[in-house]
Amino acid sequence: MAARQAFAAALSLSMLLALSPATAQTPPVESIQIGLSTDAISITAGFSGADLTIFGSLENPDPLVARQGRYDVIVVLEGPPRPVVVRRKDRVLGVWINLESETFENVPVSYSVATTRPLQDIAEPAKYKQLSLGAQNLYMKPVDEADAPATIEEFTAALRDRKAATGLYSENVGGVQFLSQNLFRATVRLAPNVPVGTHKARAFLFKSGLFIKESSAQLEIRKSGFEQSIFRVAHDYSFLYGVFAISLAMLTGWLGRLIFRKD
Protein backbone atom coordinates (compact mmCIF):
# COMPACT_ATOMS: atom_id res chain seq x y z
CA MET A 1 0.00 0.00 0.00
CA ALA A 2 2.79 2.40 0.94
CA ALA A 3 4.64 1.54 -2.26
CA ARG A 4 1.53 2.27 -4.32
CA GLN A 5 1.10 5.68 -2.62
CA ALA A 6 4.75 6.55 -3.20
CA PHE A 7 4.43 5.63 -6.88
CA ALA A 8 1.29 7.78 -7.24
CA ALA A 9 3.03 10.75 -5.56
CA ALA A 10 6.06 10.42 -7.82
CA LEU A 11 3.81 10.23 -10.90
CA SER A 12 1.91 13.36 -9.82
CA LEU A 13 5.20 15.23 -9.23
CA SER A 14 6.57 14.26 -12.63
CA MET A 15 3.39 15.43 -14.35
CA LEU A 16 3.59 18.76 -12.48
CA LEU A 17 7.21 19.28 -13.52
CA ALA A 18 6.32 18.44 -17.12
CA LEU A 19 3.55 21.01 -17.16
CA SER A 20 5.30 23.79 -15.22
CA PRO A 21 7.69 25.00 -17.99
CA ALA A 22 4.77 25.65 -20.32
CA THR A 23 2.82 27.60 -17.72
CA ALA A 24 5.82 29.49 -16.27
CA GLN A 25 7.62 30.18 -19.55
CA THR A 26 9.09 33.69 -19.63
CA PRO A 27 8.20 35.89 -22.61
CA PRO A 28 10.98 36.41 -25.19
CA VAL A 29 13.11 39.53 -24.79
CA GLU A 30 12.68 42.28 -27.38
CA SER A 31 15.57 43.09 -29.71
CA ILE A 32 16.19 45.40 -32.65
CA GLN A 33 17.72 44.98 -36.11
CA ILE A 34 18.60 47.53 -38.80
CA GLY A 35 19.43 47.15 -42.46
CA LEU A 36 20.95 49.44 -45.09
CA SER A 37 19.88 49.28 -48.72
CA THR A 38 23.56 49.71 -49.65
CA ASP A 39 26.85 49.40 -47.80
CA ALA A 40 28.52 52.19 -49.81
CA ILE A 41 27.56 55.69 -51.00
CA SER A 42 29.51 57.65 -53.63
CA ILE A 43 29.48 61.45 -53.58
CA THR A 44 30.74 63.98 -56.10
CA ALA A 45 32.01 67.57 -55.92
CA GLY A 46 28.48 68.91 -56.35
CA PHE A 47 27.14 66.97 -53.36
CA SER A 48 24.91 69.34 -51.36
CA GLY A 49 23.76 67.01 -48.61
CA ALA A 50 21.12 64.29 -48.56
CA ASP A 51 18.84 62.26 -46.34
CA LEU A 52 19.79 58.64 -45.73
CA THR A 53 16.95 56.21 -45.00
CA ILE A 54 17.57 53.27 -42.68
CA PHE A 55 14.99 50.54 -42.16
CA GLY A 56 14.72 48.38 -39.08
CA SER A 57 12.52 46.00 -37.17
CA LEU A 58 11.69 45.03 -33.60
CA GLU A 59 11.90 41.35 -32.76
CA ASN A 60 9.47 39.86 -30.23
CA PRO A 61 7.70 43.16 -29.46
CA ASP A 62 4.93 43.20 -26.87
CA PRO A 63 1.72 43.99 -28.84
CA LEU A 64 0.22 45.91 -25.91
CA VAL A 65 3.34 48.07 -25.45
CA ALA A 66 3.50 48.68 -29.20
CA ARG A 67 -0.17 49.76 -29.35
CA GLN A 68 0.40 52.13 -26.44
CA GLY A 69 3.39 53.70 -28.24
CA ARG A 70 5.81 52.94 -25.43
CA TYR A 71 8.60 51.73 -27.73
CA ASP A 72 11.12 54.38 -28.81
CA VAL A 73 14.00 54.09 -31.25
CA ILE A 74 17.04 56.33 -31.62
CA VAL A 75 19.20 55.90 -34.72
CA VAL A 76 22.68 57.39 -35.01
CA LEU A 77 25.03 57.64 -37.99
CA GLU A 78 28.50 58.22 -36.60
CA GLY A 79 31.39 59.29 -38.81
CA PRO A 80 34.98 58.03 -38.59
CA PRO A 81 36.92 59.17 -35.49
CA ARG A 82 39.80 61.58 -36.03
CA PRO A 83 41.91 63.96 -33.91
CA VAL A 84 40.62 67.54 -33.82
CA VAL A 85 42.38 70.76 -32.79
CA VAL A 86 40.25 73.58 -31.40
CA ARG A 87 41.84 77.04 -31.29
CA ARG A 88 40.75 80.18 -29.52
CA LYS A 89 41.46 83.56 -31.08
CA ASP A 90 41.95 86.74 -29.09
CA ARG A 91 42.57 90.28 -30.19
CA VAL A 92 46.06 91.51 -29.45
CA LEU A 93 47.06 95.04 -30.52
CA GLY A 94 44.19 95.09 -32.99
CA VAL A 95 45.12 91.75 -34.59
CA TRP A 96 43.24 88.45 -34.08
CA ILE A 97 45.72 85.67 -33.31
CA ASN A 98 45.52 82.13 -31.94
CA LEU A 99 46.55 82.16 -28.28
CA GLU A 100 45.27 78.85 -26.91
CA SER A 101 44.35 75.48 -28.36
CA GLU A 102 43.15 72.06 -27.26
CA THR A 103 43.58 68.78 -29.11
CA PHE A 104 41.02 66.00 -28.78
CA GLU A 105 41.48 62.35 -29.71
CA ASN A 106 39.13 60.16 -31.78
CA VAL A 107 36.32 62.67 -32.23
CA PRO A 108 33.57 61.51 -34.63
CA VAL A 109 33.85 63.80 -37.63
CA SER A 110 30.07 63.66 -38.12
CA TYR A 111 27.19 62.60 -35.89
CA SER A 112 23.59 62.53 -37.12
CA VAL A 113 20.72 61.50 -34.84
CA ALA A 114 17.11 60.58 -35.64
CA THR A 115 14.55 59.90 -32.90
CA THR A 116 10.90 58.96 -32.48
CA ARG A 117 10.43 61.80 -29.97
CA PRO A 118 12.55 64.50 -28.29
CA LEU A 119 15.36 62.91 -26.31
CA GLN A 120 14.11 64.35 -23.01
CA ASP A 121 10.80 62.52 -23.54
CA ILE A 122 12.37 59.11 -24.15
CA ALA A 123 14.75 58.46 -21.24
CA GLU A 124 16.58 60.12 -18.36
CA PRO A 125 19.70 62.20 -19.19
CA ALA A 126 21.84 59.86 -17.06
CA LYS A 127 21.02 56.96 -19.37
CA TYR A 128 22.22 58.89 -22.43
CA LYS A 129 25.45 59.72 -20.65
CA GLN A 130 25.93 56.06 -19.77
CA LEU A 131 25.39 55.06 -23.41
CA SER A 132 27.37 58.04 -24.83
CA LEU A 133 24.26 58.70 -26.89
CA GLY A 134 23.67 62.14 -28.38
CA ALA A 135 26.13 64.84 -29.42
CA GLN A 136 26.03 66.43 -25.94
CA ASN A 137 26.99 63.11 -24.34
CA LEU A 138 29.92 62.16 -26.55
CA TYR A 139 33.12 61.98 -24.54
CA MET A 140 35.73 64.25 -26.10
CA LYS A 141 39.05 62.97 -24.78
CA PRO A 142 41.72 65.70 -24.62
CA VAL A 143 45.30 64.78 -25.43
CA ASP A 144 46.53 66.72 -22.41
CA GLU A 145 44.24 65.65 -19.56
CA ALA A 146 46.33 67.74 -17.14
CA ASP A 147 44.71 70.94 -18.39
CA ALA A 148 42.27 72.73 -16.11
CA PRO A 149 38.79 71.13 -16.18
CA ALA A 150 37.20 74.52 -16.90
CA THR A 151 39.45 74.98 -19.93
CA ILE A 152 38.70 71.49 -21.26
CA GLU A 153 34.97 72.05 -20.78
CA GLU A 154 35.12 75.38 -22.61
CA PHE A 155 36.94 73.93 -25.62
CA THR A 156 34.65 70.86 -25.63
CA ALA A 157 31.57 73.09 -25.82
CA ALA A 158 33.20 75.13 -28.59
CA LEU A 159 33.95 71.95 -30.55
CA ARG A 160 30.34 70.76 -30.31
CA ASP A 161 29.03 74.19 -31.32
CA ARG A 162 31.33 74.33 -34.34
CA LYS A 163 30.26 70.85 -35.47
CA ALA A 164 26.59 71.79 -35.11
CA ALA A 165 27.10 75.08 -37.00
CA THR A 166 28.62 73.27 -39.98
CA GLY A 167 25.84 70.67 -40.01
CA LEU A 168 28.12 67.78 -39.17
CA TYR A 169 26.32 67.24 -35.84
CA SER A 170 22.56 67.21 -36.34
CA GLU A 171 19.38 65.93 -34.71
CA ASN A 172 16.16 65.00 -36.51
CA VAL A 173 13.34 64.75 -33.97
CA GLY A 174 10.57 62.60 -35.43
CA GLY A 175 13.00 61.20 -37.98
CA VAL A 176 12.16 57.65 -36.82
CA GLN A 177 8.65 56.53 -37.72
CA PHE A 178 6.98 53.19 -37.06
CA LEU A 179 5.43 51.69 -40.20
CA SER A 180 3.79 48.90 -38.18
CA GLN A 181 4.10 47.42 -34.70
CA ASN A 182 7.53 46.02 -35.48
CA LEU A 183 8.81 47.88 -38.59
CA PHE A 184 10.30 51.39 -38.56
CA ARG A 185 12.03 53.82 -40.88
CA ALA A 186 14.73 56.30 -39.83
CA THR A 187 15.94 59.34 -41.77
CA VAL A 188 19.37 60.74 -40.89
CA ARG A 189 20.94 63.76 -42.53
CA LEU A 190 24.20 63.76 -44.46
CA ALA A 191 25.83 67.19 -44.41
CA PRO A 192 27.29 68.65 -47.64
CA ASN A 193 30.75 68.29 -46.11
CA VAL A 194 30.18 64.75 -44.81
CA PRO A 195 33.58 63.04 -44.47
CA VAL A 196 34.59 60.03 -46.51
CA GLY A 197 35.39 56.82 -44.68
CA THR A 198 33.61 54.13 -42.71
CA HIS A 199 30.50 55.35 -40.88
CA LYS A 200 28.66 53.35 -38.24
CA ALA A 201 24.86 53.23 -38.06
CA ARG A 202 23.53 52.35 -34.60
CA ALA A 203 19.95 51.81 -33.44
CA PHE A 204 18.92 51.94 -29.76
CA LEU A 205 15.64 50.45 -28.54
CA PHE A 206 13.88 51.89 -25.47
CA LYS A 207 10.79 50.54 -23.74
CA SER A 208 8.94 52.89 -21.39
CA GLY A 209 12.17 54.84 -20.88
CA LEU A 210 14.35 51.78 -20.26
CA PHE A 211 17.17 50.82 -22.64
CA ILE A 212 16.59 47.35 -24.10
CA LYS A 213 18.93 46.57 -27.00
CA GLU A 214 21.31 47.99 -29.61
CA SER A 215 22.07 47.01 -33.21
CA SER A 216 24.63 48.36 -35.67
CA ALA A 217 25.71 48.29 -39.32
CA GLN A 218 28.50 49.89 -41.34
CA LEU A 219 28.32 52.32 -44.24
CA GLU A 220 31.18 53.38 -46.51
CA ILE A 221 31.09 56.93 -47.92
CA ARG A 222 33.56 57.62 -50.70
CA LYS A 223 34.21 60.17 -53.42
CA SER A 224 33.53 59.36 -57.05
CA GLY A 225 34.55 60.75 -60.41
CA PHE A 226 37.50 63.10 -60.88
CA GLU A 227 37.83 63.86 -57.14
CA GLN A 228 38.23 60.18 -56.33
CA SER A 229 41.01 59.87 -58.91
CA ILE A 230 42.87 62.84 -57.41
CA PHE A 231 42.28 61.51 -53.89
CA ARG A 232 43.69 58.10 -54.84
CA VAL A 233 46.74 59.56 -56.58
CA ALA A 234 47.45 61.90 -53.64
CA HIS A 235 47.47 58.96 -51.21
CA ASP A 236 49.13 56.31 -53.39
CA TYR A 237 51.74 58.58 -55.00
CA SER A 238 52.12 61.35 -52.45
CA PHE A 239 55.65 62.42 -53.52
CA LEU A 240 54.78 62.71 -57.21
CA TYR A 241 51.52 64.45 -56.35
CA GLY A 242 53.45 67.00 -54.24
CA VAL A 243 55.93 67.66 -57.06
CA PHE A 244 53.07 68.07 -59.53
CA ALA A 245 51.18 70.46 -57.23
CA ILE A 246 54.26 72.65 -56.70
CA SER A 247 55.07 72.67 -60.43
CA LEU A 248 51.48 73.59 -61.28
CA ALA A 249 51.55 76.45 -58.77
CA MET A 250 54.83 77.77 -60.21
CA LEU A 251 53.51 77.50 -63.76
CA THR A 252 50.28 79.30 -62.83
CA GLY A 253 52.24 82.12 -61.16
CA TRP A 254 54.55 82.48 -64.16
CA LEU A 255 51.63 82.59 -66.60
CA GLY A 256 49.84 85.13 -64.44
CA ARG A 257 52.91 87.33 -64.43
CA LEU A 258 53.13 87.17 -68.21
CA ILE A 259 49.47 87.94 -68.73
CA PHE A 260 49.14 90.79 -66.26
CA ARG A 261 52.58 92.38 -66.53
CA LYS A 262 52.81 96.02 -67.55
CA ASP A 263 55.06 96.83 -70.48
Residue 261's Cα: distance from chain center in Å? 53
pTM above 0.85, yes or no: no
pLDDT given for residue 12 in this prediction: 52
Q: What is the DSSP string of 84-113?
A: EEEEEEEEETTEEEEEEEEEEEEEES-EEE
d(CA 9, CA 2): 11
pLDDT given for residue 200 in this prediction: 95
Q: What amino acid occupies position 155?
A: F
pLDDT given for residue 17 in this prediction: 46
The list of the chain residues with pLDDT below 50 reads 2-3, 7-8, 10-11, 13-24
